[in-house]
Structure 1
Amino acid sequence: MREICVIGGNRYFGKRLIDRLTAAGDRVTVVNRGSSAPPTGTVHLIADRDDEDSLEKALGSRTFDVVVDQVCYTPRQAEIARRVFAGRTRRYVMTSTVEVYEYEDAAAPVAESAVDPRTVAVDQGLPWGDPEFLDAHYGEGKRQAEAVFAADPFFPHVTVRVAHVLGGDDDFTGRLEHYAERVRTGEAIAVPPVNHPATYIHVEEIADFLFWTVGEDFTGPVNAASHGPLTTRELCDAIAAHLPGGRTLLRAVESGEVSPFSFSRSYGMDNSRATRLGFAFGDAREWLARAVAETLGKAGRPAEADAVTALSM
């Protein structure tokens, strides 16, 4: 029986990961602030991960084979975690994000080497405790958190750079609903003049990937993304096919806010490292319709798509 600690993990793909771990016979300890109960069959520790003393006291003398950190957003949080879990775990897995590549405007899908966390500058003096600042600097927070772990050569860790996640009836982000409302009404969807595709992953696939990662022994950054980038048009067409009379209208805008999954720069990730290590990804185009049906609900889905797709540039 493996001893696994999950920090956070009460929703979306985190709870799916915990389900997989407990089904495999692992003993899972969930650490959170206590605002919501963890999945059944787990040990629950209540602690504020931003408070080092609180985290130390909650853990006591416990040690783990693997720690999976689902909610590390800042270098401050990473610094506390690195100190607290040093000597407590054989391996530390942090869920990072494709957003760490926000400055790497590459035409081809980016590999992990495009962002070496050992070269990323860490600034603990930034207002990481300010929710508005953190929201506006999400990718940078993750970059610097990765850098904190990478700075310690004796702290074995993995940073899973997760593509944009779709699917499930518990997607709390509201991004597909943003598109669905506009497709239903025929309202124009704002996109950049040059709108780049991005890589995605299904919510069940990222849970599978994290479960697989727990059982492996590699370290360092790894990209997690399904095969095949998707465009905004493909996302909207899949939604329109799900909604009777749905109509997609994309409108290019030179400035101002654009829709959630439209990008003026590339967010495509190269998943070949994970593939070489032994994980078999699915194809995004094969699961996209299912993801839309899961998130938006099956009611009202036409037998045959009668959507009209238009493009206004």
Structure 2
Amino acid sequence: MKVLFIGGTGVISQAVSRLAVERGVELFLLNRGKRSAFVPKGATVIQGDIRDVQATKEALGNQRFDVIVDWIGFTPAQAQVDIELFQAKTDQYIYISSASVYQKPLTHPIVTESTPLSNPYWQYSRDKIASEALLMDAYRSTGFPVTIVRPSFTYGDTLIPAAMNSGAHPWSLVERMRQGKGIIVHGDGTSLWTMTHNTDFAKGFVGLMGNPQAIGHAFHITSDEVLTWDQIYQAIGKAAGVAPKLVHISTDFIARCVPEKSAGLLGDKAVSHIFDNSKIKRFVPEYQSTVPFAAGIRQTIAWFEAHPEQCLVDEAWNAQMDAIILAHEAGAAHFSSEMNG
């Protein structure tokens, strides 16, 4: 297959790019060339910015691709541009949506691809829902060959996954654990979640590429392992060689303290999810997740320790975590004082 990835070097897509090349795909990556270390040997980089439509047209010329994947589309306006750019350039267009599009709160604990799409908390998710609707309408009206894929929390070597961590410097969480500082866990730590290693995701995704039966369908691709958030943080600590000091704080309290965190918590991670992966297994029979989180996070910690230049600490995030914990402790002390007269 001749395949074009828009992006292709992010946390999720880098693993898909590697596997695609290993399986003999002629892979082209259209991106700005800022993460060249994650371009697999054998892939061809077309330097460009998808947001510059005219430059993209010129960069791609008359080339046609069996599959085009947009890893960095977020809004309906961007999806509309893709429809116009790629309608005549591909046999299959794959849109990367998000499992956060699923109904919040859930009315049924098992999530399938037919679970309603609704997220009143997070604009990011609403934009993905609207993009999906636009693309599916194009499929129904003009035959635009779309397949939708909805990743959930997917990690790899370069990401230490947690509900509360620094986006800029994810090593901050590990360093905080090793210093014995409090690690905030939203709620009581017992809500259920799924962490998916990017190499597992890649197996399901590459199986959808070039699969004509997948056109017009949506899929999520996740691990079948279900963990509590306490277990997730404990596994990160164990991989880092420490027993983390977990501090349970209600999601509502965190959201009041740090409003910018509320959408991602209330609209995603605070809700228990158990994903039914039957559909991806029907369309890609060989798909099976084989990397348990305990093993995957050990690999991630090892990668960071082998790249000390990546082991940076976000001091502003650290101060924010300290402030939330202090506010919570002050509230608890006040409540205890009131109760005891």
Q: So what's the TM-score if we normalise by structure 1?
A: 0.78
Match of 2:54 in 1: 53
Match of 2:282 in 1: 276
Query: Are 2:115 and 1:110 aligned?
Result: no
The correspondence for 2:293, drawn from 257, 265, 288, is 288
> Whole-Å Cα distance in 2 between the matches of residues 67 and 102 of structure 1?
28
The correspondence for 2:131, drawn from 145, 148, 164, is 145
Deviation at 1:267, TM superposition (A): 3.3
Gaps of 5+ in 1: 121-135, 300-311
8 Å Cα contact 1:183-1:239 kept in structure 2 = no
Query: Are 2:64 and 1:76 aligned?
Result: no
Identity %: 22
Assess, with a 3 A threshold, how the Cα gap between structure 1 residues 104 and 273 changes in structure 2: closer, same or farther: farther
8 Å Cα contact 1:110-1:269 kept in structure 2 = yes
Comparing both structures, which one devotes a greater share of its residues to helix?
2
Assess, with a 3 A threshold, how the Cα gap between structure 1 residues 108 and 62 changes in structure 2: closer, same or farther: same
Deviation at 1:64, TM superposition (A): 0.7
Match of 1:157 in 2: 146
Deviation at 1:104, TM superposition (A): 4.7
> Whole-Å Cα distance in 2 between the matches of residues 107 and 115 of structure 1?
10
Q: So what's the TM-score if we normalise by structure 2?
A: 0.72
Q: RMSD between aligned alpha carbons?
A: 3.0
8 Å Cα contact 2:101-2:126 kept in structure 1 = yes
Deviation at 1:116, TM superposition (A): 6.1
SS of the residue 2:46 aligns to: strand
Match of 1:97 in 2: 98
Gaps of 5+ in 2: 306-328, 333-341
Aligned residue pairs total: 280
Residue identity opposite 1:69 in structure 2: D
Match of 1:127 in 2: none
| Bigger Rg, which one | 2
Q: Deviations over 1:69-110 (max 9, x none)?
A: 111111111100111100110001122211111535234121
> Whole-Å Cα distance in 1 between the matches of residues 161 and 117 of structure 2?
29
Match of 2:159 in 1: 171
8 Å Cα contact 1:98-1:269 kept in structure 2 = no
Match of 2:177 in 1: 183
8 Å Cα contact 2:196-2:293 kept in structure 1 = no
Deviation at 1:188, TM superposition (A): 4.2
Residue identity opposite 2:74 in structure 1: Y
SS of the residue 1:282 aligns to: coil
Match of 1:43 in 2: 44
> Whole-Å Cα distance in 2 between the matches of residues 243 and 160 of structure 1?
32
Residue identity opposite 1:252 in structure 2: I
> Whole-Å Cα distance in 1 between the matches of residues 104 and 42 of structure 2?
42
Match of 1:226 in 2: 223
SS of the residue 1:255 aligns to: helix
> Whole-Å Cα distance in 1 between the matches of residues 155 and 28 of structure 2?
27
